[in-house]
Amino acid sequence: MSVISSSLRKEYTQSKLMETDLEPNPFDQFHKWFNDAVSAELPLPNAMTLATVKQDQTPVARVVLLKELDQRGFVFYTNYQSAKAEELEYQNKASLVFWWISQERQVRIEGFTEKVTESESEAYFATRPRESQLSAWASDQSKPVSGRPELETKMTEMRSNFSDQSVPKPKEWGGYRLIPSFFEFWQGREDRLHDRICYLMDSDQWKIQRLSP
């Protein structure tokens, strides 16, 4: 068994998270940290790990991009026939993780998912770059392909099919909204005595609680 070098260990010294610093609403606290990540010009601050569960109870995780956020929840888009969509159809509970490494911050979110409305999906699809719109038509997301040439051939076909018109949204493409019931804000601290503060939904109100690191 190989041992990861202890030289990779580092102290977390960037900041702290105290109860007096918190917003009463976790969405507002998230916006505060997210805006810090954007202002720091971190690469892809909207990248988030989405964890789902297969029917055989195998947990699955992958990185997706946050595209919309309001007081209802966190929205991402995908193909409704993809593996993640099949998993969410089986079990609509899911979790998200944001990791902003240079700020030594992590946010973990748990909740349930629902599809966004067709009009919301249409509106977002219209803002995508044309090539991204075409790839939504060219890709049978999560399905096996013979190789890269097959994908490129399909993309060429889509460019030809829609050469003289705007690209409509495929019927099987759309968004999901994760509606949170739990947030955990983690701030790295010295000596591994990290700050972990969570928000739990309790009787339609958010309850704030500190956790041991």
**Residue 98 CB partners (closer than 8 Å, separation 6+):** 34, 45, 47, 48, 49, 105, 106, 107, 109
Give the DSSP H/E element, type plus range, for residue 153: helix 148-161
Helical axes 148-161 vs 130-138, angle rounded to 10°: 120
Helix, strand, coil percent content, the chain, rounded in steps of 5: 30, 35, 35
DSSP one-letter code for 135: H
Given the residues 177, 192, 196, 210, the one annotated as active site: 192
Cα distance between residue 213 and residue 210, in whole Å? 9
Return the number of other C-beta atoms located less than 10 Å from residue 125's C-beta. 19
Please confirm, yes or no, whether 177 is among the known catalytic residues.
Answer: no
Determine contact, residues 59/51, Cβ cutoff 8 Å: yes
Q: How far apart are CA 151 and CA 135, in angstroms?
A: 9
Contact 25, 200 (CB under 8 A): no
- The one-letter amino acid code at 187 reads Q
Euclidean distance between CA atoms 187 and 18, whole angstroms: 10
Report the catalytic residues: 192
